């Protein structure tokens, strides 16, 4: 734990002009922008709960535990001391503390406790806040949240597992799920030879018993290349069934008879970041699994889980950006150079204001998609959710590394050393772009919507057209986007550009409809103008930097 009273009088000099520890952060009450956008998207009824969670998640103690969990990486214990295979991963105590904090505050199941009451919006707000101190713990949270729609395609499995997933108790014991106080579910999809191309998977499943066997239960054999959170209690796994193609299976860590399942962890990955979260390679050999959904329709079954994870990626990236901005604002507000606080220097003002606009745009984009997911009974909202998850996932995760880098640069050298939170945020920043489909996969997903689901594109355009007349730059962008969507249906190589324009146009529409004019004008003039190149600190001089920064400051 850091000293609360560091010594500033040293033998050779006094320490001054150095920012103080940031200390406790209230991630809800101190974030005016989050409060306003949550309310604008329909989450006002959850405000009291958000306030409770934001207080505890923002404690300095939570950030310190995140630091410890990332410094002390998980370790594989494939065998016990007697040589028995146990496939166990051991974590630092701080990781377990964070898992307990997350689960007790419903970071894995808030949406399902609040169905019909802006549950996905609430889930997204919680993700935004908790991703600020720690991303690794959020991986099992995201997968457990996202798995529910897939489980509902198998009512017997849903009936067995949902009570465990709805629990608010963290139970880290490696024992059969039926004996535990709560459970978590992950997913294993990709293999070495295919990556995102899961149709090339070679893992296969055969029915348990003779050819006229049970039909639901199978034995799987094969491998999976990226298996995060391998201590979850069960996993959705894709495997081939003879003659039917890819099917989806629920593979538990323990078999129904109480014996360990054949999940053989080969190694833990040494990753760029996300160190607290164990990511592994796993082999299956006659591994027990139960089919989820229809045989041969495994991709369709598991894509329901992928959609939720993509929303998570968008909101997690927005949360990481917010914390990077908070750190930059704190540093520049307390550091002087050339007789002024850094935050008062004109160039730094432009950088900070530009980052603040980016964070607000990312938050608005993610919460709008979450609102759509809460209203899937409305065909228009369902269509917006369908294409919006890909758009938001693409753009928020693309902007996150650039913004975190810029925030790190605001600190100078102190931001580059491991005593700072900035290196950990920087290492975490690229992950969400890779997980659940890279940028190219998102672009292809939007292309599929354009060619196979024109109603989704029509609904998207209806949404952004609501803002026509609000801003001349936005109106021009609307005209250009309409042409792109109509004329480039088959231009696969153009889909990153199209997806980016969709994201920026939707952000502009949301900001002009709901944000203060000094925010929306700055966003539209910079992002939708003729000369935008994506660099931070290039806002037009006509923008009100002071008001934008004040809006983003910790209150």
User: Would you say 100 and 129 are in contact if contact means Cβ atoms under 8 Å apart?
Assistant: no
For residue 489, is pLDDT > 70?
no
Structural domain contains residue 265: yes
Q: Within a domain: residue 170? A: no
End-to-end CA distance of the chain: 26
Higher-confidence residue of 299 and 250: namely 250
- Highest mean pLDDT pick, 299-308, 462-471, 492-501: 462-471
Residue 550 has pLDDT above 70, yes or no: yes
| Domain limits for position 265 | 184-296
Using one digit for the tens of pLDDT, what is the confidence trace for 394-424? 999 999 999 999 999 999 999 999 999 999 9
Q: pLDDT class for 214, splitting at 50, 70, 90? A: very low
Number of domains forming the structure of the chain: 2
Q: Assign 161 a pLDDT band (cuts: 50, 70, 90).
A: very high
pLDDT at residue 213 in the model: 38
Radius of gyration in angstroms for the set of CA atoms belonging to the chain, rounded to a whole number: 24
Non-local CB neighbours of 424 within 8 Å, separated by 6+ positions: 66, 67, 70, 273
pLDDT of 211 over the 50 cut: no
Q: Which of 265, 296, 327 is the last residue of a domain?
A: 296
- The CATH code of the domain that includes 219 is 2.40.110.20
Q: What is the pLDDT of residues 219-236, one digit of tens each?
A: 999 999 999 999 999 999
State how far the Cα of 444 lies from the Cα of 214, in Å rounded to an integer: 38
pLDDT value for 484: 87
Instruction: Examine the fold and report which residue of 247, 278, 296 is the final residue of a domain before the chain moves on.
Output: 296
Asked, for residue 354, whether it belongs to a domain, the answer is no
Reply yes or no on whether the pLDDT at 197 is more than 90: no
Give the model's pLDDT for residue 117.
94
Which tops the pLDDT comparison, 210 or 43?
A: 43
pLDDT at residue 475 greater than cutoff 60: yes
> What pLDDT is attached to residue 210?
53
Has residue 485 been placed in a domain? yes
pLDDT at 280 exceeding the cut of 90:
yes
- The pLDDT-based confidence of 488 (bands split at 50, 70, 90) is low
Residue 301 lies inside a defined structural domain of this protein: no
Check whether 508 has a pLDDT greater than 80.
yes
What pLDDT does residue 501 have?
Answer: 95
For residue 147, being part of any structural domain is answered with no
Cβ proximity of 446 and 481 under 8 Å: no
Average pLDDT of the chain to the nearest whole number: 93
**Per-residue pLDDT reduced to its tens digit, 429-445:** 999 999 888 999 999 99
Q: What is the pLDDT of residue 124?
A: 98
Cα separation, 361 vs 515, whole angstroms:
10
The pLDDT of residue 490 is 61
> Tokens in use for 442?
């998102």
What is the maximum span of the chain, computed from C-alpha positions, in angstroms?
83
Nearest to 225 by CA among 270, 186, 193: 193
Angle 315-392-369 (CA atoms, 0-180°, nearest 5)? 75
Residue 449 lies inside a defined structural domain of this protein: yes
Is 90 exceeded by the pLDDT of residue 292? yes
For residue 209, being part of any structural domain is answered with yes
pLDDT at 4: 60
pLDDT in tens, 314-366: 999 999 999 999 999 999 999 888 889 999 999 999 999 999 999 999 999 99
* Residue 284: per-residue pLDDT: 96
CA distance 506 to 460: 8
Single residue among 296, 330, 346 that ends a domain in this structure: 296
């Amino acid at each position: 734990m850091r000293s609360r009273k560091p010594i500033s009088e040293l033998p050779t000099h006094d320490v001054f002009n150095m920012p103080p520890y940031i200390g406790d952060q209230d991630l809800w009450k101190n974030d005016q922008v989050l409060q306003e956008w949550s309310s604008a998207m329909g989450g006002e009824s959850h405000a009291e709960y958000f306030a409770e969670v934001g207080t505890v998640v923002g404690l300095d103690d939570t950030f310190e535990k995140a630091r410890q969990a990332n410094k002390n990486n998980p370790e594989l214990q494939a065998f016990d001391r007697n040589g028995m295979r146990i496939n166990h991963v051991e974590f630092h105590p701080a990781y377990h503390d964070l898992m307990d904090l997350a689960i007790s505050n419903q970071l894995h199941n808030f949406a399902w406790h609040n169905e019909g009451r802006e549950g996905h919006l609430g889930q997204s707000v919680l993700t935004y806040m908790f991703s600020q101190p720690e991303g690794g713990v959020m991986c099992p949270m995201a997968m457990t949240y996202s798995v529910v729609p897939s489980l509902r395609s198998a009512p017997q499995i849903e009936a067995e597992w949902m009570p465990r997933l709805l629990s608010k108790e963290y139970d880290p014991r490696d024992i059969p799920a039926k004996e535990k106080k709560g459970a978590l579910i992950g997913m294993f999809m990709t293999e070495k030879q295919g990556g995102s191309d899961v149709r090339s998977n070679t893992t296969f499943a055969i029915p348990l018993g003779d050819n006229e066997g049970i039909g639901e239960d199978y034995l799987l054999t094969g491998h999976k290349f990226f298996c995060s959170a391998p201590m979850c209690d069960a996993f959705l796994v894709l495997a081939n069934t003879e003659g039917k193609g890819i099917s989806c299976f629920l593979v538990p860590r323990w078999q129904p008879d109480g014996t360990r399942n054949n999940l053989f962890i080969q190694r833990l990955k040494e990753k760029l970041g996300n160190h607290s979260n164990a990511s592994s390679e796993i082999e299956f050999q006659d591994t027990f699994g139960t089919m989820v959904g229809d045989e041969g329709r495994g991709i369709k079954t598991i894509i329901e889980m992928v959609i939720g994870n993509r929303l998570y990626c968008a909101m997690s990236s927005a949360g990481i950006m917010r914390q990077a901005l908070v750190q930059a604002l704190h540093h520049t507000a307390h550091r002087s150079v050339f007789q002024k606080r850094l935050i008062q220097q004109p160039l730094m003002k432009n950088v900070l204001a530009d980052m603040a606009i980016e964070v607000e745009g990312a938050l608005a984009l993610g919460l709008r998609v979450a609102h759509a997911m809460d209203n899937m009974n409305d065909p228009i909202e369902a269509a917006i959710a369908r294409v919006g998850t890909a758009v938001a996932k693409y753009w928020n995760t693309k902007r996150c590394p650039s913004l975190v880098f810029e925030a790190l640069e605001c600190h100078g050298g102190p931001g580059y050393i491991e005593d700072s939170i900035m290196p950990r945020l920087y290492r975490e920043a690229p992950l969400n772009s890779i997980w659940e489909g890279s940028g190219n996969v998102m672009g292809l997903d939007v292309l599929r919507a354009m060619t196979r689901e024109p109603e989704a594109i029509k609904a998207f355009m209806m949404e952004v057209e609501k803002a026509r007349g609000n801003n001349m730059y936005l109106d021009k962008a609307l005209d250009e986007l309409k042409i792109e969507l109509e004329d480039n249906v088959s231009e696969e190589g153009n889909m990153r550009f199209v997806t980016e324009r969709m994201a920026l146009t939707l952000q502009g529409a949301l900001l002009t409809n709901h944000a203060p004019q000094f925010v929306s004008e700055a966003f539209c003039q910079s992002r939708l103008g003729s000369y935008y190149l994506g660099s931070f600190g290039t806002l037009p001089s006509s923008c009100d930097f002071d008001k934008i920064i004040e809006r983003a400051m910790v209150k």
